[in-house]
């Protein structure tokens, strides 16, 4: 099935259509909307800032609505957590087809409530209703926000020459998790069932809330970024662009779960370029990298040093497993989406 451009807009589109259309300027906006920046930062007073992020969430065919609610909260909360700030408050908009049953409605809101409770989040508002034009329940937007001390957050623009780059969990976590659910029959026909089940279990790793807060608590973090659409290679490019630095990365240093390799091999996807919610990129002062990795390990989160930040911003490269050097770039099309839509035909 051929599809057009799917997913979030690229830097060029942002600059063309959005950058100059942000309403009235306000000096209290410290971190404004930018591609590659996970959340905005607004000054509340000389000591405090408001960190706020928003995401749409769609339900995944073949998965229970309980997981839809779990994704909603974790994906929203992750964008605040990667700023080094503990998420505190939530609003969400739930849009449902008119034929949605009370049982399905309750399953969604129960899951959102339960997950927010587990993450110590308070739901303070939103909008819920039934509307034609929706085939499945959809989160039009989840907004997560928190108050923080003015000097206590990081952004993807904080990477500095000499920093080391850490990647948690490995690439393509979201890709492997979702496709192993949607295309289960195809995978079971070629691979061992226990490997397919392990891939499906990755859906519960599509979050970086614990990753980010653990790394921040360990200290020495200069920047963090959730590798979502465009995968790890896109996330690295966005850090380099935001921080105005170069990056030298080696794919050989990545953690590569066998189940991720299986799914990407089965559907001929490049794991480095595929959507990777759950894979956190961290830049850290070199003396702190071991401390951060050990802290993550204690939480059951695997992580490895995959490269370094350099001053030469013209050198942004990754050494692939076959020895080729490639420039870091956001893929023109995340390979996950065609594979996703093929499953729906």
Q: What is the CATH number of the domain that holds 279?
A: 3.90.650.10
pLDDT band of residue 10 (cuts 50, 70, 90) is confident
Buried (b) or exposed (e) across 100-112, using 16+ Cβ within 10 A?
Answer: beeebbebbbebb
Q: Are residues 117 and 179 in the same domain?
A: no
Instruction: Give domain status of residue 29, yes or no.
Output: no
- When pLDDT is averaged across residues 89-104 and rounded to a whole number, the result is 97
Same domain, 307 and 265: yes
Task: Give 2's pLDDT tier (boundaries 50, 70, 90).
Answer: low
Q: Is pLDDT above 80 for 85? A: yes
Angle of the 173-182 helix axis to the 258-266 helix axis, nearest 10: 60
Total domain count, the chain:
2
Q: Is residue 24 a part of any domain in this protein?
A: no
Mean pLDDT, residues 72-99 taken together: 98
- If asked whether residues 284 and 260 sit together in one domain, one would say yes
* Full residue range of the structural domain in which residue 235 is found: 164-342
> Can you give the pLDDT at residue 5?
67
Per-residue pLDDT averaged across 120-129, rounded?
A: 98
274 touches 213 (CB < 8 A): no
119 and 190 fall within a common domain: no
* Higher-scoring residue by pLDDT: 11, 239: 239
Q: How close are the terminal C-alpha atoms of the chain, in Å? A: 7
Q: Is the predicted pLDDT of residue 174 greater than 80, yes or no?
A: yes
Instruction: Quick: pLDDT tens for 28-71.
Output: 999 999 888 999 999 999 999 999 999 999 998 889 999 999 99
Say if residue 138 is in the same domain as residue 114. yes
Mean pLDDT of the chain: 95
Q: Out of 149, 180, 207, pick the residue that ends a domain.
A: 149
Within-domain flag for 201: yes
Look at residue 212 and tell me whether its pLDDT is greater than 70. Answer: yes
């Amino acid at each position: 099935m051929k599809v057009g451009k799917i997913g979030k807009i690229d830097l060029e589109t942002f600059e063309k259509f959005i950058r100059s259309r942000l309403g009235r300027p306000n000096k209290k906006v410290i971190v404004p909307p930018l591609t590659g920046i996970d959340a905005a930062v607004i000054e509340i007073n000389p000591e405090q800032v408001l960190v706020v992020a928003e995401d749409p969430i769609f339900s995944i065919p073949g998965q229970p609505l309980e997981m839809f609610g779990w994704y909603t909260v974790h994906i929203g909360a992750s964008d605040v957590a990667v700023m080094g700030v503990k998420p505190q408050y939530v609003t969400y908009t739930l849009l449902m087809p008119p034929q949605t049953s009370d049982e399905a409605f309750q399953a969604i809101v129960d899951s959102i409530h339960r997950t927010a409770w587990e993450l110590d989040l308070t739901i303070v508002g939103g909008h819920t209703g039934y509307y034609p034009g929706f085939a499945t329940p959809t989160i039009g937007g989840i907004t997560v926000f928190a108050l923080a001390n003015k000097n206590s957050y990081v952004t993807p623009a904080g990477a500095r020459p000499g920093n080391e780059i850490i990647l948690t969990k490995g690439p393509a976590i979201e890709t492997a998790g979702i496709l192993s659910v949607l295309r289960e029959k195809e995978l079971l026909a070629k691979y061992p069932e226990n490997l397919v089940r392990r891939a499906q279990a990755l859906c519960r790793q599509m979050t970086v809330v614990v990753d980010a807060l653990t790394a921040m608590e360990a200290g020495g973090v200069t920047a963090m970024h959730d590798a979502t659409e465009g995968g790890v290679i896109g996330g690295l490019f966005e850090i380099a662009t935001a921080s105005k630095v170069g990056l030298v990365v080696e794919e050989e240093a990545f953690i590569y779960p066998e189940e991720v390799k299986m799914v990407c091999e089965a559907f001929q996807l490049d794991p480095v370029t595929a959507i990777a919610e759950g894979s956190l990129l961290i830049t850290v002062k070199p003396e702190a990298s071991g401390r951060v990795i050990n802290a993550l390990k204690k939480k059951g989160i695997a992580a490895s040093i995959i490269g370094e930040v350099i001053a030469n911003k013209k050198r942004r490269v990754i050494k692939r497993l076959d020895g080729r050097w490639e420039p870091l770039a956001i893929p023109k099309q995340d390979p996950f989406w065609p594979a996703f839509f093929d499953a729906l035909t």
